[in-house]
Amino acid sequence: MDSVMLDDLDRRLLHALHLDGRAPFSRIAEVLDVSDRTVARRLARLRATGAARVTATIDVPGRAEWLVRARVSPDGAAPLARALARRPDTRWVTVLSGGTEILCILRASAADPAPLRALARSPQVGDVEAHRLLRHLMDGRWRGRTSALTAEQAAALRPSAPGDAAAPAPSDLDRRLLPVLAADGRAAYPALARRVGWSESAVRRRLDELRRARALRFDVEIDPALFGFAVQCLLWLTVAPARLAAVAGSLAADAEAAFVGATTGPHNLLVIAVCRDDAALYAYLSDRIGALDGVERVETVPITSYAKRVAPAV
């Protein structure tokens, strides 16, 4: 990624896109009091430099989210991470522990997760652990990247509450849309129609249906380092079951927590922590997490690099 410095307008634009990934440039420009062209140019710059992009996913009934942790050969980590990032069924791919592990969130059948078996057969992989991501215990929005707008601006940009429509049955159109939206959640309707081979009106209608049913979700891929948080780490916590909800709720309010979720496996809580430097991470581990009643064990795993940063579904 080329060197990028975020200014106040960049931060407000990114906050706006976190609120509504497909908000028209005209609406964003009106709230930010700039021109449509300025908004479009800023987002194009962020995309071109690899600093940020809007992605979208479609929830498919019967699919579960799997946390897949693979131990890999150092020379195989980067190519495997890139291959996983290209898959439309992965949401988050990162290289860990100096290049000897990969963690990804993979959406697959809860009953027959065939992609997990395929990953285990990869020649770069020495060992694979897979655990279900049972529940998201925060709203999926790290405060470090959603604090640039005033409350009034955020209210003006936040989409209207979805209706109570039932999730529509999966369709062939959804399967065609999924890889396109995973690459560019803001793809224009004419471009989407051309890519999937359906009419523009059908594509527009289907996206509206999916949004009303909360089955279409948007996020903004961006590196926390651009906000000054250079140290990022996975924290696998073992928490006494009776204290799990309380500990998760407390951590979810922390500025250092980018994600908190309950998992199966030897640990029952995953936290993605972002800190300004090593000293801040040490303080967070010792003073904050170490003081929480119910935390029995913590495993810290440093994040080396990202291949995909789509946040887990909310």
Q: What token pair was written down for 261? A: 């979720």
| Whole-number Cα distances in Å, 63 to 86, 109, 275 | 19, 5, 33
In whole angstroms, give the CA distance from residue 139 to residue 141: 6
Is 181 within the bounds of a domain?
Answer: no
Is 235 within the bounds of a domain?
Answer: yes
In whole angstroms, give the CA distance from residue 208 to residue 131: 33
Residues β-bridged to residue 219: 55
* pLDDT recorded at residue 97: 86
Is 250 within the bounds of a domain?
Answer: yes
| Whole-number Cα distances in Å, 130 to 231, 238, 252, 266 | 25, 17, 24, 11
3-state secondary structure of 163: coil
Domain membership of residue 265 as a residue range: 223-305
Work out the burial of residue 1: count CB atoms within 10 Å of its CB; fewer than 13 is exposed, 13-18 middle, 19 or more buried: exposed
In whole angstroms, give the CA distance from residue 207 to residue 120: 35
Question: Comparing C-alpha atoms, which of 11, 5, 17 is closest to residue 49?
Answer: 5
* pLDDT recorded at residue 162: 57
* pLDDT recorded at residue 313: 39
| Whole-number Cα distances in Å, 137 to 218, 246, 251, 303 | 18, 10, 9, 21
* pLDDT recorded at residue 121: 76
Is 37 within the bounds of a domain?
Answer: no
Is 104 within the bounds of a domain?
Answer: no
DSSP 284: I
In whole angstroms, give the CA distance from residue 254 to residue 259: 10
Q: Return the amino acid letter for 174.
A: D
Tens-digit pLDDT string for the chain (314 aa): 456 788 999 999 999 998 899 999 999 999 999 999 999 999 999 988 888 888 888 777 777 888 989 898 888 888 888 888 888 778 789 999 888 899 988 887 777 666 777 777 777 788 888 899 998 887 656 666 667 899 899 999 988 755 556 667 888 898 899 888 888 899 999 999 999 999 999 999 999 999 888 888 888 888 778 888 889 999 999 999 999 999 999 998 898 998 899 999 999 999 999 999 999 999 999 999 999 999 999 999 999 888 887 644 33
Domains identified in the chain, total number:
1
3-state secondary structure of 171: coil
Is 113 within the bounds of a domain?
Answer: no
Is 211 within the bounds of a domain?
Answer: no
Q: Can you give the CATH number for the domain in which 264 is found?
A: 3.30.70.920
Is 125 within the bounds of a domain?
Answer: no
Residue environment code for 269-299, b if the CB has 16+ CB neighbours within 10 A, otherwise e = bbbbbbbbeeebbeebbeeebeeeebbeebe
